[in-house]
Amino acid sequence: MLYQLTMRRSAPWSAPTSPVDGIRVLALLPRQWQKDLSQVAGEIVIRIRAGEETTSEEVHAEVERALASSELSHLELVACRPVAAGLPE
Residue 88 lies in a domain: no
Across 21-85, the runs of DSSP E, i.e. the strands, are 34-40, 43-49, 75-82
Print the domain residue range for 41.
2-82
Q: How confident is the model at residue 89 (pLDDT cuts 50, 70, 90)?
A: very low
In the chain, % of residues over pLDDT 90 = 53
Across residues 3-32, what is the average pLDDT?
85
Number of domains in the chain: 1
| CATH code, domain carrying 73 | 3.30.70
Backbone angles phi, psi at 18, to 5 degrees: -115, 150
Q: How confident is the model at residue 15 (pLDDT cuts 50, 70, 90)?
A: low
Residue 11 and residue 67 in contact, taking contact as beta carbons nearer than 8 Å: no
Q: What is the pLDDT of residue 59?
A: 94
| For residue 66, pLDDT beyond 90 | yes
Residue 22 and residue 44 in contact, taking contact as beta carbons nearer than 8 Å: yes
Q: How confident is the model at residue 20 (pLDDT cuts 50, 70, 90)?
A: confident
